[in-house]
């Protein structure tokens, strides 16, 4: 089974996506997600100009060898662009291998370790009443775990909060709201945030009780001691996790946070290699690994990382916003079903137009996601639909402090 072609499809239903389509000489096709939000075309070029020519004629069954060939052969290692390209090739080859075997991918990963993957959704509100409505709306949609993000008094717009008045039903999705040639700029105030967030969780717990798993995303914005304070202040509300409490390329910063709080910590959606986690795992400084198939070198890369994390009692929390395409989402679900150290799966739900382009078969029932038993990943790409949605430049916002200093968004 030889690789006959490797084509890159850039399409933008609701937001920009980059998808690799690998076709074998016996007519099998595999899909890989190569979407890097805000830098999509860099990965499209990496694949089209530097990877696809190397793939033609290669044995499609040699997944590990191809992974090592692309990782070591590039000489320049790691990084979000390279690892998204490697991920797309790897995922597409796993899709092909599972299709050739007539099995859903999870069966090739050791079979099911659970009946389904617990999902969490994104509740948000500009104020507490709107947030509580959003939590209710997500519970009604069947979610059994919910991420809580709110507006901060005095700040116009904040990461993770739907800007519309219909908070509960409306999804925030930065790209469509901010599709413009330059990133939108937002203003941030950490002290206002630290004062406000505990009051929000007080209100959510008062309304929904102590049992509902609640998550929160700090989105890289705090210093280690600020994160330590927030983790401590949130302990009475028993969070499932506090995510990206501090920019974690400084892995040792998590030592300080760990010293002050027992609130579980999740890190890694911006990481793209197991090497980004070495200190975090060996010293058990985190509780959940956040990397996605799309950003961590594919099924092969993420499985390796999750097995390493499991050795230290650390579980998966695979990243699943709408800028992980349905292809990347499906790949995550196969790993979620198979690995032993599963924790939780983020599931932000894609827009209807996205699902016109990507034909999915995974299911969300009673709060659990299942990849389906369709051979392969279980996702199809409708090329005619994809052509209806041309790429348009779109960027994530840039954060600044009140004095104009650029801050983590």
Where do contacts with Mg ion occur on this chain (CB under 5 A)? 217, 269
Nearest-angstrom CA–CA distance, 141 and 118? 14
C-beta closer to ligand CS2: residue 97 or 219: 219
Does 184 sit near ligand CS2 (CB under 6 A)? no
Q: Is 159 a catalytic residue?
A: yes
Give the rounded distance of the alpha carbon of 2 from its chain centre: 31
Binding mask 334-363 for ligand CS2 (x = CB under 6 A): ------------x-----------------
Nearest-angstrom CA–CA distance, 276 and 279? 8
Contact 175, 353 (CB under 8 A): no
Nearest-angstrom CA–CA distance, 201 and 191? 17
Does 219 sit near ligand CS2 (CB under 6 A)? yes
**CA nearest to 192, candidates 152, 159, 224:** 152
C-beta closer to Mg ion: residue 189 or 269: 269
C-beta closer to ligand CS2: residue 52 or 222: 222
Q: Name the active-site residue from 138, 216, 219, 220.
A: 219
Give the rounded distance of the alpha carbon of 114 from its chain centre: 21
Q: Name the active-site residue from 120, 143, 159, 347.
A: 159
Q: How far is CA 284 from CA 135, 244, 251, 341, in A?
A: 31, 15, 11, 14
Nearest approach, Cβ of 396 to ligand CS2 (angstroms)? 6
Binding mask 150-169 for ligand CS2 (x = CB under 6 A): --------------------
Nearest approach, Cβ of 268 to Mg ion (angstroms)? 9
Chain residues 236-275 in contact with ligand CS2, contact rule CB under 6 A:
269
Buried b (16+ CB within 10 A) or exposed e, 181-203: eebeebbbbbeebbebbbebbeb
C-beta closer to ligand CS2: residue 62 or 179: 179
Beta strands in 84-184 (DSSP E): 117-125, 146-150
Chain residues 27-66 in contact with ligand CS2, contact rule CB under 6 A:
37
Choosing from 217, 276, 287, 336, the residue that interacts with ligand CS2 (CB under 6 A) is 217
Does 90 sit near ligand CS2 (CB under 6 A)? no
Q: Is 219 a catalytic residue?
A: yes
H-run or E-run covering 21: strand 17-24
Beta strands in 247-332 (DSSP E): 265-267, 288-289, 315-318
Choosing from 40, 95, 323, 336, the residue that interacts with ligand CS2 (CB under 6 A) is 323
Q: List active site positions.
A: 159, 219
Give contact residues for ligand CS2 (rule: CB under 6 A): 37, 217, 219, 269, 321, 323, 346, 396
């Amino acid at each position: 089974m030889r690789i006959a072609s490797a084509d890159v499809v850039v399409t933008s239903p609701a937001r920009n996506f980059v998808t690799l389509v690998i076709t074998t000489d016996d007519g099998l096709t595999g899909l890989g997600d190569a979407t890097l939000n805000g830098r999509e075309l860099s990965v499209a070029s990496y694949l089209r100009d530097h990877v696809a020519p190397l793939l033609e004629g290669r044995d499609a069954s040699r997944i590990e060898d191809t992974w090592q060939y692309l990782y070591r052969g590039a000489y320049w290692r790691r990084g979000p662009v390279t690892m998204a390209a490697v991920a797309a090739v790897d995922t597409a080859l796993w899709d092909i291998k599972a299709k050739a075997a007539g099995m859903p991918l999870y069966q090739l990963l050791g079979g099911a370790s659970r009946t389904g993957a617990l999902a969490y959704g994104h509740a948000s509100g500009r104020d507490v009443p709107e947030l509580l409505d959003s939590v209710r709306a997500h519970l009604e949609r069947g979610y059994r775990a919910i991420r809580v993000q709110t507006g901060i008094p005095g700040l116009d717009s904040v990461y993770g909060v739907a800007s519309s008045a219909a908070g509960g039903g409306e999804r925030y999705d930065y790209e469509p709201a901010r599709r413009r040639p330059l990133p939108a700029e937002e203003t941030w105030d950490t002290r206002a945030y630290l004062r406000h967030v505990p009051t929000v969780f007080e209100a959510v717990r008062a309304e929904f009780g102590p049992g509902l798993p609640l998550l929160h995303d700090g989105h890289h914005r705090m210093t280690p001691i600020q994160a330590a304070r927030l983790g401590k202040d949130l302990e009475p509300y028993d969070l499932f996790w506090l995510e990206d409490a501090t920019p974690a390329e400084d892995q040792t910063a998590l030592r300080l946070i760990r010293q002050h709080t027992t609130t579980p910590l999740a890190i890694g959606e911006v990481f793209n290699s197991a090497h980004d986690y070495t200190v975090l795992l060996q010293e058990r400084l985190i509780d959940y690994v956040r990397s996605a198939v799309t950003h961590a070198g594919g099924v092969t890369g993420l499985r390796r990382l999750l097995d390493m994390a499991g050795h230290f009692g650390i579980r998966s929390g695979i990243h699943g916003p709408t800028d992980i395409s349905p292809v990347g989402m499906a790949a995550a679900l196969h790993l979620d079903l198979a690995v032993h150290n599963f924790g939780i799966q983020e599931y932000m739900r894609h827009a209807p137009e996205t699902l016109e382009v990507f034909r999915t078969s995974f299911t969300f029932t009673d709060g659990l996601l299942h990849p389906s038993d369709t051979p392969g990943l279980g996702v199809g790409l409708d090329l005619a639909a994809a052509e209806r949605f041309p790429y348009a430049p779109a960027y994530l916002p840039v954060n600044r402090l009140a004095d104009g200093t650029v801050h983590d968004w």
